[in-house]
Structure 1
Amino acid sequence: MTDDEILAAFKERRTTYDTYLQANEIQLCTCPGCGFPSLTDRGEFEICIICFWEDDGQDDHADSILSGLFEELQLSGPNQGLSLIENRINIGRILESNADMINGEIDLNTARVLETIAFYQLRRMDIEGRMTGEESAQDHIWLEWQEVRKDLQTALVVPKLPE
């Protein structure tokens, strides 16, 4: 997929989930970084469990405003200088790669995706409950915690249905 196709797929995915959340009065928000319904609120610096984007309230217009006003400055927000568009393309490539491995597609079944995200959030909370705060970055529990995101990214891809 091209970058433009990945960004179009992001927009479609986010619209699908936003519509479902609103129609079913579900108090979740779609992540501006990946488009999945993974945030409890917008602009509260919550970190997405799927794409690891820290939501500082930026959205579609942020990249163009920043690049136009501050071209010469090296700005770094909570996302370590990664732009929202770059994040969308990165996560899109990861999801497409996962889909290619199983001849699958990104899951757009909203109810199933919500259940999947909830399952992995509980898994991560379980790991966090076993942490003492004294672990090093190389400790097995941190590696296990990081694997949750990779496992979730894989679980968001489903086999294509036969035509």
Structure 2
Amino acid sequence: MNDAEILAAFHARRYHYDTYLQANDIQQYTCPGCGFPSLNERGGFNICDVCTWEDDGQDDHAEGLIAALRVEGVQISGPNGQLSLTDNRMNIGRILETNTELINGEIDFDVARVLQTLDFYRQRKVEIEGRMTGEESLQDHILLEWKEVKKDLQMALIVPKE
């Protein structure tokens, strides 16, 4: 997929999940970085389990302004460093595209199943965090296991083509 297709897929995914969540009065929110329903509030500085975007409230309404400021040479940094929302969307889009190719699959659009998948991996991270001491080195097996949960989640959001 080219960049335009990756961004179009993001917007379609986000619209799909947003529509379902609103229609069913589910108090979950789609991440502005990946479009999956991974946030329990917006703008609360929660970190998405799928793409690790820290939700500072930035969304499409601010992306144009931020891009214009960057063109002017103004460097803006927030909780996501120099990573722009569009860059994050492109990064996760490429990861998802690679994962779909690996198993000849497609992104899971079954919202109930996706919510269960997100919850399962969220619980998995909490379980691993419960075994951490805070003294782990960057190469400690438990820290590496915790980091692998994100990759496993990204793969679990892909289902075989029907």
TM-score, reference length from structure 2: 0.96
What residue in structure 1 maps to residue 40 of structure 2?
Answer: 40
RMSD: 0.9
Query: Structure 1 or 2: larger helix share?
Result: 2
Question: Secondary structure in 2 aligned to 1:61?
Answer: helix
The answer as to whether partners of 2:69 and 2:75 remain within 8 angstroms in 1 is no
Segments of 4+ moved more than 4 angstroms: none
- Structure 1 Cα separation of the partners of residues 66 and 138 of structure 2: 33
- Structure 1 Cα separation of the partners of residues 30 and 111 of structure 2: 12
Shift of 1:72: 1.1
What residue in structure 2 maps to residue 152 of structure 1?
Answer: 153
Shift of 1:23: 1.2
Shift of 1:64: 1.3
- Structure 1 Cα separation of the partners of residues 33 and 19 of structure 2: 17
Question: Secondary structure in 2 aligned to 1:105?
Answer: strand
What residue in structure 2 maps to residue 60 of structure 1?
Answer: 60
What residue in structure 1 maps to residue 7 of structure 2?
Answer: 7
- Structure 1 Cα separation of the partners of residues 59 and 67 of structure 2: 14
- AA partner of residue 89 (structure 1): M
Shift of 1:133: 1.0
Matches within 5 A, 1:13-162: 13-70=13-70, 71-161=72-162
Shift of 1:127: 0.4
- AA partner of residue 86 (structure 1): D
5+ residue gaps in structure 2? none
- Structure 1 Cα separation of the partners of residues 109 and 153 of structure 2: 14
Question: Secondary structure in 1 aligned to 2:67?
Answer: helix
- Structure 2 Cα separation of the partners of residues 152 and 97 of structure 1: 14
5+ residue gaps in structure 1? none
TM-score, reference length from structure 1: 0.96
- AA partner of residue 33 (structure 2): G
Shift of 1:137: 1.9
CA-to-partner distance for each residue in 1:52-102, whole Å, 9 max, x for gaps? Answer: 000000001322101223531222211121000010011011001000011
